[in-house]
Amino acid sequence: MTKDHFIKNEPLAPHTTFRLGGKAKYFFTTNNKEELVACVKLAKKEKMSCNVMGGGSNTIFPDKGFNGLVVKYHGGKLSAKNLDGTKIKVDVCLPLWELVNFSVKNSLSGLEYLSGIPGNVGGAVVGNAGAYNHFIGDLVESVEIFDGQKIRQLANKDCRFGYRDSIFKKKNWVILSVVLNLIKGDKKTLTKISRDLIKNRNEKYDYNIFCAGSFFKNIPLKKVPKALLKKIDPTKIAGGKLSVGYLLEEVGAKSLKIGGISVASFHGNFLVNDGTGKTADLKKLANKLKTLVKNKFGIELEEEVRFI
Ligand SMILES: Cc1cc2nc3c(=O)[nH]c(=O)nc-3n(C[C@H](O)[C@H](O)[C@H](O)COP(=O)(O)OP(=O)(O)OC[C@H]3O[C@@H](n4cnc5c(N)ncnc54)[C@H](O)[C@@H]3O)c2cc1C
């Protein structure tokens, strides 16, 4: 592997669902973990910054681009050799929907509630992606990583999964593969859950809009001032968290727009690019929303999306 293998000056926006960001000095796509490790080693040797991405559905690059190497670890298929009883071992370049479909088809339960979440398995592990109080981290048995020196295995407890959080948000490690522990389920029931959830998502929003899903994290109840909690409609609380969309709607978020970025009409916590937006606009709008919520409710919002 040399720098000649990389694409030069690749626009990053088309590789992200928000369609934001400038160009990468160097860019490489692979679904081969040896190649991924070789890229990371080369970047280190050349003293270049290196960012590993998956499906780009939670990543926002700066307008000025990325002055280093972006590796898109993406693609692949599953087969019977990925299965060992109720365990599935996958390279994390795999799109999450392929994994969910595979598990459902093989009558394995655990992943069906993640139906319709965009991106790859790696991005899902980093952000402990989930829906309806089901999180991928709960299914992880072990994760294979390259820590910059060597390849090693982490057990679930070492991944420190939390709400939209894991150790991978703090460390500069590359995730190569993961072993998930599922349980036997009924294929018909799993298929119905999966289809219903996708239908439900399609009714809520159009998948072709440029966004990264929920922008801010919901608020754990221990962070909500007690006086405020008493006044809040209980339907705005789920899974021990207060809906940030509710707080944003209460501060008038839905009428706000900066440049090509606006708050979606259907959800206060979806920020949307009309195709002309810039990362700078998004940051300004996000800061404005944070200030409005802080001033009205005394709550600090935290981004779920990842600014590079
Ligand atoms: C319409 C829409 C709906 C969504 N709904 C949900 C939802 O219901 N629940 C939910 O949790 N999320 C949701 N999301 C957010 C997003 O899809 C998830 O966070 C997803 O898991 C991100 O995966 P990705 O591959 O696209 O990650 P990316 O955006 O490519 O990467 C995310 C982060 O992980 C890092 N990363 C990726 N791969 C690796 C790797 N192999 N090694 C090390 N680091 C890596 C990247 O550097 C980046 O920091 C939604 C997004 C959209 C656009």
Query: Domains of the chain: which residue ranges?
Result: 3-73, 80-203, 206-297
Domain 206-297 part of CATH 3.90.78.10: yes
Distance (Å) from CA 82 to ligand 1 centroid: 22
Domain 80-203 part of CATH 3.30.465.10: yes
Instruction: Please return the burial class of 74, using the count of CB atoms within 10 Å of its CB with bins 0-12, 13-18 and 19+.
Output: buried
Distance (Å) from CA 304 to ligand 1 centroid: 10
Check if 3-73 and 206-297 are the same fold. no
Q: Decide the pairing of beta strands 66-73 and 23-30.
A: parallel
Residue nearest to ligand 1 atom 21, measured at CA: 124
Q: Decide the pairing of beta strands 66-73 and 83-84.
A: unpaired
Q: Which of 164, 177, 194, 243 is catalytic?
A: 164
Q: Which of 109, 166, 214, 262 is catalytic?
A: 214
**Which CATH fold would you assign to the domain 3-73?**
3.30.43
Is residue 51 classed as helix, strand or coil in its secondary structure? strand
Is residue 272 classed as helix, strand or coil in its secondary structure? strand
Count H helices and E strands in the chain, helices first. 7, 21
Which distant-in-sequence residues (6+ apart) come within 8 Å of 10 by Cβ?
23, 24, 26, 27, 70
Question: Cα(140)–Cα(156) distance, rounded to whole angstroms?
Answer: 6
Q: 72 to each of 163, 175, 212, how far by Cα in Å? A: 25, 12, 17
* Per-residue pLDDT tens listing for the chain (308 residues): 899 999 999 999 999 999 999 999 999 999 999 999 999 999 999 999 999 999 999 999 999 999 999 999 999 999 989 999 999 999 999 999 999 999 999 999 999 999 999 999 999 999 999 999 999 999 999 999 999 999 999 999 999 999 999 999 999 999 999 999 999 999 999 999 999 999 999 998 888 899 999 999 999 999 998 888 888 889 999 889 999 999 999 999 998 999 999 999 999 999 999 999 999 999 999 999 999 999 999 999 999 999 99
